């Protein structure tokens, strides 16, 4: 009984950890995209201020070039995290399935224990009833 409870708690903990990992990766991806769009706005602002929008132009603003590089790196990092997110979701699904198997097994064992206990109680009540009944 205790080992089943411990195993069930362990499986639930593992599922919670996998959920946290998925959530962290999703938040990182969202943050990278937010930062990239902020950089996009800064790049557009800098290009508008300078009047030059071609990065190959010799007078293209240095800040805009650096921001372009940072934005591209953020987008690439977000794309790399999507692969990790897929792996984390698969691990979460697997952990969830393992937890469900343990829960189902636990439910079955508890049901069989309840049935055995009910049968013992019924047998005891039957024996009490037979003893209390006067002989004919």
DSSP 25-50: HHHHHHHHHHHHHHHHHHHHHHHHHH
Q: What is the token pair recorded at 15?
A: 């599922």
Rg (CA), the chain: 32
What pLDDT score does 35 carry? Answer: 98
Determine the Cα–Cα distance for residues 121 and 44; give it in Å rounded to an integer: 80
pTM of the complete model? 0.73
Asked if residue 123 has pLDDT above 90, the reply is no
Determine the Cα–Cα distance for residues 91 and 95; give it in Å rounded to an integer: 6
Determine the Cα–Cα distance for residues 111 and 118; give it in Å rounded to an integer: 10
Which tops the pLDDT comparison, 121 or 69?
Answer: 69
CB 22 within 8 A of CB 46: no
What pLDDT score does 2 carry? Answer: 74
CB 3 within 8 A of CB 106: no
- pLDDT tens per residue, range 9-21: 999 999 999 999 9
- pLDDT tens per residue, range 42-96: 999 999 999 999 999 999 999 999 999 999 999 999 999 999 999 999 999 999 9
């Amino acid at each position: 009984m205790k080992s089943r409870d411990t195993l069930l708690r362990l499986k639930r903990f593992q599922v919670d950890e996998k959920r946290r990992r998925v959530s962290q990766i999703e938040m990182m991806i969202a943050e990278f995209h937010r930062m990239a769009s902020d950089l996009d706005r800064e790049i557009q602002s800098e290009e508008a201020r300078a009047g030059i929008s071609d990065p190959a132009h010799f007078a293209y603003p240095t800040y805009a070039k650096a921001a372009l590089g940072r934005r591209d790196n953020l987008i690439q990092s977000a794309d790399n995290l999507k692969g990790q997110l897929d792996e984390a979701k698969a691990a979460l699904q697997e952990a969830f399935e393992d937890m469900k198997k343990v829960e189902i097994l636990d439910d079955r064992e508890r049901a069989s224990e309840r049935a055995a206990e009910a049968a013992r109680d019924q047998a005891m009540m039957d024996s009490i009833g037979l003893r209390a009944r006067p002989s004919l």
